[in-house]
Chains A and B, each alone.
Chain A
Amino acid sequence: MSGEKLAQRSYYGKALAKLAETHPNVVVFDADLAGSTKTSSFQKAAPERFVQAGIAEANMIGVAAGMAASGKVAFASTFGVFASGRCWEQIRMAVAYPKLNVKIVATHCGLSVGPDGATHQALEDIAVMRVLPNMTVVVPCDAHEAYAATLALADYDGPAYMRMGRSEFPVIKEEGCTFQIGKADVIREGTDVSVIACGQMVQTSLEAAEILASEGISAEIVNMATIKPLDTEAILTTARKTGAVVTAEEHSIIGGLGSAVAECLAENEPVPMGRVGTKDTFGESGEAEELLEKYGLTAADIVAKVKETISRKR
């Protein structure tokens, strides 16, 4: 736990450059945002396998599907709002239904996109990707995990969506860590409440755990880096241990991690539960820190939600 601040997308770019060397069947698609999504590092390493699709996301997904049907492993990147929304139906028919090897890797997800405002802040992408049959949904917690997850996805046979943020934020994992699709990991052990988080909110949850500890509340922090397939075993194990669950995500509380965990708990182990996320609202312009505070995504918000949730324990 170095606390060093790194951007996930930079490490996605590094992983793609690595794949350029190790995986001759990998092709990478860009929709005129290579500098931002960091696919530019693959472009540099393997220009003959880099496909500039222009500002035409629907076609990009279709071409990627055709490539995958011809034996390629296609990574297609753009901002989360476009990657998950602009071409959702293309992903549904051309990628998810035929189980093709297309990895949709979205950057600039969540409120922390900042000043670009609501049009560019994906807060619904986990929900709309998770609902698709055959789709795997991955949300790494930091830059090192993003690197490892990229490599893992290259070797995974099937469609996937990976979500990353824009900004630099503290790393939790060690450089060179491994990533197993579908496996959650306990980042901090605790006994009073489980905070199940994804993405940048894992770090925020760890900060909340420190505050809670100072008040005598022991929080277990679970990094749910794969939203689908969901690690239900990990959820049930931690829920049975602590008896209360709070989820934290930089995404709407509707349809995302919170919903996925709620579905699992309601059917298997009903315990008091609370969700931290955006509350059925769009974002707006502002600096990342300002937005996270205004929309209730800070460590203090997690602390408050934990206290409210454990008060409902029997």
Chain B
Amino acid sequence: MSEKMPALNVDELQNIANKMRLDVIEMTTAAGSGHPGGSLSAADAMAALYFRVMNIDPADPYKEDRDRFVLSKGHAAPILYAALAERGYFPVEELKTLRKIGTRLQGHPAYHDVPGVEVTTGSLGQGLSMACGMALAGKIDGKDYRVYCLLGDGELQEGQNWEAAMFAHAYSLSNLTALVDRNRLQISGNTEEVMALDPLPEKFRSFGWNVVIIDGHNIRQIIEACDKASRSKKNPTVIIMNTVKGKGVSFMENNVGFHGKSCNPEEYAKAVEELKAVIR
């Protein structure tokens, strides 16, 4: 449970997720580039983590016992920045500096430039290793913080993830929860056509992980899965979240064209209209 923050209900969290979606559209459009698709698919998980699940304090972003978050799919930086800004780590207005010269909000997240960013990511396949290091440090130091790592599905094609998966099991990193944004699209198309990942749950199970499969746009399921993971006594847990790339903006949904492209003025107007219609 977040500090200094009343427990938000699922509807309130859903509203925050949609506000974060609007932030993503605003900031990537202002930047003229960026990765909206994979940011929108992760919005609900990010709202649940930053506003309900994780023990964090924006006023003391590096307090020792904080839960840690690693965005392994670093190109989804817009949704991380949106979560941090909406949660109060820095002003929401700053989001519009995304990707511009001199900004803290680099195209991919840079360690300690932005309060709340725990490591540097962007080159795919490395975040889970870093998350393992944080989780093992916690075990060595006898701390009870948890580490959350958001992975893209496409990046699971990088072999280093499986080195890390082996490591997490070998060191019984029960304090580690990985979340896979299983939106089934990567730049070149469907993940199963580019380089098949399925059977993905079996892969993780065979590496010794607890596997929970959920609807990644159902906030109640996300919270319950995180709670379940936190009760693990021995093994790390992966939550495979079935998601829709571009979720929340009709013409972006399941459209790989918006993996790494921002909106033109018409698309922007339509996206804003759709999102504002669902935000209270």
Contact = CB atoms under 8 A, between A and B. Distances in A.
Contacts of A255: none
A66 B137 contact: yes
A7 interface: no
Contacts, number: 103
Interface in A34-78: 48-49, 51, 53-54, 56, 58-59, 61-72, 74
A63 B166 contact: no
A249 B18 CA distance: 59
B129 A58 contact: yes
Nearest to A68: B133
Given A93-B123, A94-B119, A98-B112, A63 B138 contact: no
Contact of A62 (B118, B140, B164): B164
Given A54-B166, A100-B111, A62 B160 contact: yes
A58 B120 contact: no
B110 interface: yes
Interface residues of A, number: 30
A59 B164 contact: yes
Given A62-B133, A65-B133, A94 B126 contact: yes
Contacts of A59: 129, 132, 160, 163-164, 166-167
Contacts of B131: 66
Contact of A65 (B119, B166, B170): B119
A70 B135 CA distance: 9
A64 B111 contact: no
Interface in B96-141: 110-112, 118-123, 126-138, 140-141
A90 interface: yes
Nearest to A98: B111
A66 B134 contact: yes
Chain B CB within 10 Å — which of A65, A70, A100 has the most?
Answer: A70
Contacts of A54: 163, 166-167, 170
B133 A98 contact: no
A97 interface: yes
A89 interface: yes
Interface string B63-79: 00000101000000000
Contacts of A70: 68, 133-134, 137-138, 141
Contacts of B130: 62-63, 65-66, 69, 94
Say what secondary structure dominates the interface of chain B. Answer: helix
B167 A98 contact: no
Interface string B131-163: 111111110110000000000000000011001
Given A62-B132, A63-B132, A93-B126, A98 B137 contact: no
Contacts of A67: 133-134, 136-137
A227 interface: no
A100 B119 CA distance: 9
Interface string A267-307: 00000000000000000000000000000000000000000
Given A59-B163, A62-B160, A98-B111, A89 B133 contact: no
Given A62-B129, A63-B130, A66-B131, A98 B110 contact: yes
B123 A89 contact: yes
Given A62-B164, A66-B70, A67-B133, 15 more contacts: A27-B137, A54-B167, A54-B170, A58-B129, A58-B159, A58-B163, A59-B166, A62-B133, A67-B136, A71-B137, A90-B160, A93-B123, A94-B119, A97-B120, A98-B120
Interface of B: 68, 70, 110-112, 118-123, 126-138, 140-141, 159-160, 163-164, 166-167, 170
20 contacts: A27-B137, A27-B140, A54-B170, A56-B163, A58-B129, A59-B129, A59-B166, A62-B160, A63-B130, A63-B136, A65-B133, A66-B131, A66-B133, A67-B137, A70-B133, A70-B141, A90-B160, A94-B119, A94-B126, A98-B110
